[in-house]
C-alpha cells in the first residue's frame, strides 16, 4: 500500500506503524469519565469499509497521519496530518 | 449411515451406489429453540454438542455461504495446548482431550495427527520462560518436555543452530500437539450434528436480530424471519459487523493474517515447529507442501488478502530458521480475517441482551480451540452459565482489570 | 594538549575510513561533517526563519536539502532540520548555532550519533535493490528518511550520481554490509 503523505507524497506503508481508529485522537478524561475511558481504550467500531485510522511515519518524518482507507479493498482514499485534524477540532497544540 | 472400513469395502463391491449426502439441506423452520449464527468450525461444534451433550432437540445453524468456507477452511491446521495462564490452559487442554476422541465421537476421519509441536528458544531468558510454561502445562494435566540443543538437533538436523543472532538453544515439545484436516473438522461436526437433528441451513445470511424488551426472539435472514428462544453468534472475521446489528461494540479489531504453502516436497518436517526469534512457524502437509505463516499484516482489514511486506518478513523468518527453505517454491498464499481481541484472548459469553450469546475474538488461535469452544458455547447456551474451563472469557474483563494477557499483545500491531 | 594513547576510530570501528569500490560504484565513510538537529520551539517559527536567513543558514522545504557557504541542512520533520557543517571548523557545531538562534530553537549535537557514507556512481540500480525510494522523483536536492534492510536511514541526493546516507552509528556495520552486499550483487 502507498500512503499519500501530505508533505512528502506517496510513501510505502512499510515505513509506517499503525495505531488504529482515528477516534483515538479524542481521549476522554479517565478520572472524570471512567466509563467513557473504558470504551475509548477497549471498544472499537471496526467497520468493514471506509475507516479513518492513525498511521505513524516512523521510518520517515515521524508525523502522525489520519489515513482514510477502505478495509475491504485496501484502497487508500486520503491522508492528512493528525496535527491538523486535532487542531481542526479546537485542540491548542 | 455409519462410516467404517467395512462400509468402504462393501460400497467398493457394490459400485459405490449406497453413499448418501453427509448432511441434509433443509429449509428453515419458522422457529427453533437455539439458532447458531455461523456455520464454521465453532458454530457447527456448538450445534453438535448442544444436540449430543445438552439434549437440545430443535437447533439450527445459519450460514451465509457454505459451511466451512471461512476461517476453518483458511487456517494452518495446528492443534496444541501449550498455554501458560490459568484462564487459558485448562480450556486448551480440554480442547486437546476432545481432539483426541473426536473422530470416534462423531464417526468421521478428521486426520487428527499428534505429530508434536516444538517451540524453539534462542536465549537463556527464553529457556526460563519455556520452562515455566512447560511446568504450568504439566500442572494442568498436559504434557511438556524441555529439549536441549542436541535433542532438537536429532529431530531436525537441518536447522540453523549457529545463527549469529538467533542460535537455537533448545525447545519446548508438546508431543500431543500436531495437526488436523481442517475442512474435515467442519464436515465431521456438520454430519454429526445433522444426524442428531440439527438443521444446517446454508446460503442464509442473518441481516438483523429481533429484540423485544431486551430479549432476543429471533433473527431476520435472507430467507425470512426465524424465531429462536436463544441465539448464539460464532462468526469469526465478522464479529463486529454481526454484533453491531444487536447494537453492541466489541473489544475487537479485525486484521488479516496470511498463510503459505510451498510446492510438494519429500518428507522433511514430521512435526510442527515454531521459530522463537521471529514470527514464523511451519509444518508439512500429508501432500508434502510446507505449510507456514507468521504475523498479522498489522492494519484493520476485511480483505482476506495481505500485502508483500509481511510475506517478506515471514520469508526472512523461515530463512533464518532453516536456510534450505529458500530452495522451495511458494505455491499459494492467502489471507484470513482474525478478530483480534484487545488482550489476545477470546470471548464465550452472554451479552447485555437476554438469550443472545457471543463467541469470538479468537485472534490467531481459533482452530485448535474448535472442539472446546463448541462444547463450552453449547454449555453456556444450554445452561446459561459458563463451562468451568471457559469461565474467564468474559466480555467485561477489561472493565474488571481481569485481562488474560497471555502474550501481552492483542490487536495492537506495534506490540507484535 | 595532554598526551594520550587514544586513537580515534571510525563508526565501523576502524582506524582508517572505509572506502569500497565495486564496479562503477564507490562507497566512502565520511567523518568530516559535523551534525546538529534544530527544532523550532512552539510559536517561534517566524523568528527561527528570520534568524536563519540573517545567518545565511538554509532551512529547506519538506523533503529537501540545501547548502550555502559552510552550512548545509536537510528537512527531517515538520519544524525540524539536521544542520551540517565542516567538522574541521565546526567540531563544536552546537556552540556555533546557539548564538544564532538563542531561545527560539532547540539544538542538539548529533555528529557521533550517525555513520555517514558517500555513495558515488550509477545510483538507480543500487538503490532500487536497497530501498523503496523512487529515484525518478528523488532528484538532486531531495532528502528523506527511509528503510534499508530494516534500518532507518537518511538519504540525501547531492547530485545525479552522488548520494549521502546517514545511518545510526550503533548499526553502522549492518548498513555498510547492506550497501556493499547490494553493490556486489548489482555490479
Do C46 and C85 fall into the same domain? yes
Could you report the per-residue pLDDT of B142-191, keeping only the tens digit for each?
999 999 999 999 999 999 999 999 999 999 999 999 999 999 999 999 99
Q: What is the pLDDT of residue B110?
A: 97
Task: For strands B206-212 and B215-221, give the pairing.
Answer: antiparallel
Do C120 and C93 fall into the same domain? no
Give CA–CA dist C114/C153, Å, rounded: 10
Q: At what angle do helices C45-55 and C93-101 cross, to 10 degrees?
A: 120
Residue C75: in which H helix or E strand, if any? strand C71-77
Interface contact flag, A9 C137, Cβ < 8 Å: yes
Count of other CB atoms within 10 angstroms of residue B131: 15
Looking at the 3D structure of chain C, how many domains does it have?
Answer: 2
Res. B411 pLDDT band, cuts 50 70 90: confident
Do C97 and C130 fall into the same domain? no
What average pLDDT does the segment C93-116 reach?
97
Give CA–CA dist B275/B267, Å, rounded: 19
* Cα within 13 Å of Cα(B46), Cβ side: 34
Structural domain including C167 reads 19-31+112-186
Which of C59, C79, C111 finishes a domain?
A: C111
Give CA–CA dist B175/C176, Å, rounded: 44
Give CA–CA dist C70/C56, Å, rounded: 9
Interface contact flag, A19 B253, Cβ < 8 Å: no
Res. C8 pLDDT band, cuts 50 70 90: confident
Residue A83: in which H helix or E strand, if any? helix A82-88
Could you report the per-residue pLDDT of B1-46, keeping only the tens digit for each?
899 999 999 999 999 999 999 999 999 999 999 999 999 999 999 9
Q: Which residues pair with A56 in a beta bridge?
A: A17, A64
Query: What are the structural domains of chain B?
Result: 21-77+182-251+344-395+405-415 (3.50.50.60), 117-179+253-341 (3.30.9.10)
Cell digits of residue B254: 479485525
Query: What are the structural domains of chain A?
Result: 2-88 (3.30.2270.10)
- pLDDT of B240 over the 60 cut: yes
Cell digits of residue B240: 463486529
Could you report the per-residue pLDDT of B370-406, keeping only the tens digit for each?
999 999 999 999 999 999 999 999 999 999 999 998 8
Could you report the per-residue pLDDT of B102-145, keeping only the tens digit for each?
999 999 999 999 999 999 999 999 999 999 999 999 999 999 99
User: Residue A53 — left, alpha, or beta (φ > 0 → left; ψ -120 to 50 → alpha)?
Assistant: beta
Interface contact flag, A8 C62, Cβ < 8 Å: yes
C167 domain-assigned: yes
Interface contact flag, C147 A15, Cβ < 8 Å: yes
Which of C50, C77, C111 finishes a domain?
A: C111
Q: What chain A residue is nearest to B400 in terms of C-alpha separation?
A: A38
Give chain B's contact residues with A (Cβ, < 8 Å). Answer: 238, 240-241, 244, 249-254, 298-303, 307, 309, 342, 398-399, 411-414
Interface contact flag, B307 A13, Cβ < 8 Å: yes
User: What does the mean pLDDT of chain A come to?
Assistant: 94
Q: What is the pLDDT of residue C6?
A: 87
Residue C168: in which H helix or E strand, if any? strand C162-168
To probe the interface with A, which of B235, B300, B409 has the most A CB atoms within 10 Å?
Answer: B300
To probe the interface with B, which of A22, A38, A41, A46 has the most B CB atoms within 10 Å?
Answer: A46
Q: Which residues contact B13 (CB under 8 A, 6 or more apart)?
A: none
Do C93 and C122 fall into the same domain? no
What average pLDDT does the segment C50-72 reach?
97
To probe the interface with C, which of A15, A16, A58, A82 has the most C CB atoms within 10 Å?
Answer: A15
Instruction: For Cα atoms C97, C102, C106, give the angle at the middle one, nearest 5 degrees.
Output: 70
Give CA–CA dist B161/B179, Å, rounded: 25
Q: What chain A residue is nearest to C62 in terms of C-alpha separation?
A: A7
Do C59 and C44 fall into the same domain? yes
C5 domain-assigned: no
C4 domain-assigned: no
CATH number of the domain bearing residue C68: 3.30.70.1400
CATH number of the domain bearing residue C121: 3.30.1360.120
> Is C49 an 8 Å CB contact of chain A?
no
Could you report the per-residue pLDDT of B327-358, keeping only the tens digit for each?
999 999 999 999 999 999 999 999 999 999 99
Q: How far is B350 from chain A (nearest CA, A)?
A: 17
C7 domain-assigned: no
C159 domain-assigned: yes
Rg of chain A over CA atoms, in angstroms?
A: 14
Which of C111, C133, C150 finishes a domain?
A: C111
- pLDDT of C98 over the 70 cut: yes
| H-assigned helices in C35-110 | 45-55, 87-90, 93-101
Q: How far is B194 from chain A (nearest CA, A)?
A: 33
Q: How far is A79 from chain C (nearest CA, A)?
A: 16
Q: How far is A8 from chain C (nearest CA, A)?
A: 6
Give chain A's contact residues with C (Cβ, < 8 Å). Answer: 7-9, 12, 14-15, 58-63, 81, 83, 93
Specify the 3-state DSSP secondary structure of B115.
coil
Q: What chain A residue is nearest to B300 in terms of C-alpha separation?
A: A71
- Whether ipTM tops 0.90, in short, is yes
Could you report the per-residue pLDDT of C67-92, keeping only the tens digit for each?
999 999 999 999 999 999 999 999 99
Amino acid at each position: 500500500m502507498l500512503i499519500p503523505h501530505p508533505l512528502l507524497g506517496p510513501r510505502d506503508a512499510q515505513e509506517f506503524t499503525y495505531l488504529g481508529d482515528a477516534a483515538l485522537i479524542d481521549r476522554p478524561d479517565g478520572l472524570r469519565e471512567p466509563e467513557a475511558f473504558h470504551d475509548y481504550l477497549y471498544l472499537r467500531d471496526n467497520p468493514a469499509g471506509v475507516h479513518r485510522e492513525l498511521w505513524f511515519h516512523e521510518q520517515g518524518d515521524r508525523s502522525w497521519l489520519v489515513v482514510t482507507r477502505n478495509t475491504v479493498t485496501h484502497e487508500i482514499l486520503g491522508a492528512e496530518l493528525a496535527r491538523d485534524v486535532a487542531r481542526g477540532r479546537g485542540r491548542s497544540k | 449411515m455409519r462410516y467404517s472400513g467395512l462400509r468402504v469395502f462393501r460400497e467398493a463391491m457394490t459400485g459405490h451406489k449406497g453413499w448418501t449426502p453427509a448432511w441434509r439441506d433443509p429449509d428453515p423452520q419458522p422457529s427453533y429453540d437455539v439458532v447458531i449464527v455461523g456455520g464454521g468450525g465453532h458454530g457447527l461444534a456448538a450445534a453438535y454438542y448442544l444436540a449430543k451433550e445438552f439434549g437440545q432437540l430443535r437447533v439450527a445453524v445459519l450460514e451465509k455461504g457454505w459451511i466451512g468456507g471461512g476461517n476453518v477452511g483458511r487456517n494452518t491446521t495446528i492443534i496444541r495446548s501449550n498455554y501458560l495462564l490459568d484462564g487459558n490452559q485448562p480450556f486448551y487442554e480440554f480442547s486437546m482431550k476432545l481432539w483426541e476422541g473426536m473422530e470416534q465421537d462423531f464417526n468421521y476421519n478428521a486426520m487428527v495427527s499428534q505429530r508434536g509441536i516444538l517451540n524453539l528458544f534462542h536465549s537463556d531468558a527464553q529457556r526460563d520462560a519455556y520452562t515455566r510454561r512447560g511446568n504450568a502445562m504439566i500442572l494442568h494435566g498436559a504434557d511438556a518436555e524441555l529439549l536441549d540443543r542436541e535433542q532438537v538437533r536429532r529431530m531436525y538436523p537441518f536447522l540453523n543452530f549457529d545463527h549469529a543472532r538467533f542460535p537455537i538453544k533448545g525447545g519446548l515439545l508438546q508431543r500431543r500437539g500436531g495437526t488436523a484436516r481442517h475442512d474435515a473438522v467442519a464436515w465431521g461436526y456438520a454430519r454429526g450434528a445433522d444426524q442428531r437433528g440439527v438443521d444446517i441451513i446454508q446460503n442464509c445470511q442473518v441481516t438483523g436480530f429481533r429484540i423485544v424488551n431486551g430479549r432476543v426472539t429471533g433473527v431476520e435472514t435472507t430467507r425470512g424471519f426465524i424465531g429462536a428462544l436463544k441465539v448464539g453468534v460464532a462468526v469469526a472475521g465478522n464479529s463486529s459487523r454481526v454484533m453491531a446489528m444487536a447494537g453492541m461494540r466489541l473489544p475487537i479489531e479485525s486484521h488479516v493474517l496470511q498463510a503459505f504453502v510451498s510446492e510438494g516436497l519429500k518428507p522433511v518436517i514430521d512435526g510442527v515447529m515454531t521459530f522463537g526469534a521471529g514470527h514464523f512457524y511451519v509444518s508439512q502437509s500429508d501432500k508434502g507442501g510446507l505449510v507456514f505463516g507468521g504475523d498479522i499484516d498489522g492494519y484493520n482489514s476485511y480483505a482476506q488478502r495481505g500485502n508483500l511486506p509481511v510475506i517478506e518478513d515471514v520469508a526472512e523468518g523461515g530463512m533464518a530458521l532453516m536456510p534450505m527453505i529458500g530452495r522451495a517454491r511458494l505455491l499459494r498464499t492467502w489471507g484470513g480475517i482474525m478478530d483480534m481481541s484487545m488482550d489476545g484472548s477470546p470471548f464465550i459469553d452472554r451479552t447485555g441482551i437476554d438469550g443472545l450469546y457471543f463467541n469470538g475474538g479468537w485472534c490467531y488461535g481459533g482452530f485448535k480451540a474448535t472442539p472446546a469452544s463448541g462444547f463450552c458455547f453449547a454449555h453456556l447456551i444450554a445452561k446459561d452459565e459458563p463451562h468451568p474451563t471457559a469461565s474467564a472469557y468474559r466480555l467485561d474483563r477489561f472493565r474488571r482489570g481481569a485481562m488474560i494477557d497471555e502474550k501481552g499483545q492483542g490487536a495492537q500491531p506495534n506490540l507484535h | 594538549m595532554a598526551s594520550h594513547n587514544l586513537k580515534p576510530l571510525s563508526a565501523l570501528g576502524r582506524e582508517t575510513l572505509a572506502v569500497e569500490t565495486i564496479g562503477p560504484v564507490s562507497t566512502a565513510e565520511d567523518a568530516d561533517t559535523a551534525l546538529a538537529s534544530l527544532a523550532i520551539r512552539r510559536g517561534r517559527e517566524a523568528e527561527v526563519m528570520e534568524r536563519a536567513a540573517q545567518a545565511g543558514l538554509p532551512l529547506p522545504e519538506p523533503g529537501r536539502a540545501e547548502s550555502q557557504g559552510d552550512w548545509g541542512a536537510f528537512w527531517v520533520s515538520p519544524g525540524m532540520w539536521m544542520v551540517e557543517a565542516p567538522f574541521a571548523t565546526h567540531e563544536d557545531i552546537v556552540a556555533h548555532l546557539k548564538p544564532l538562534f538563542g531561545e527560539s530553537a532547540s539544538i542538539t549535537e548529533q555528529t557521533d550519533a550517525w555513520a555517514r557514507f558517500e555513495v558515488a556512481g550509477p545510483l538507480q540500480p543500487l538503490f532500487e535493490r536497497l530501498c523503496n525510494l523512487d529515484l525518478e522523483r528523488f532528484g538532486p536536492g531531495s532528502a528523506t528518511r527511509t528503510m534499508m534492510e530494516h534500518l532507518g536511514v537518511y538519504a540525501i541526493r547531492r547530485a545525479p550520481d552522488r548520494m549521502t546516507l546517514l545511518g545510526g552509528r550503533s548499526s553502522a556495520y549492518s548498513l555498510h554490509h547492506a550497501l556493499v552486499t547490494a553493490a556486489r550483487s548489482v555490479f
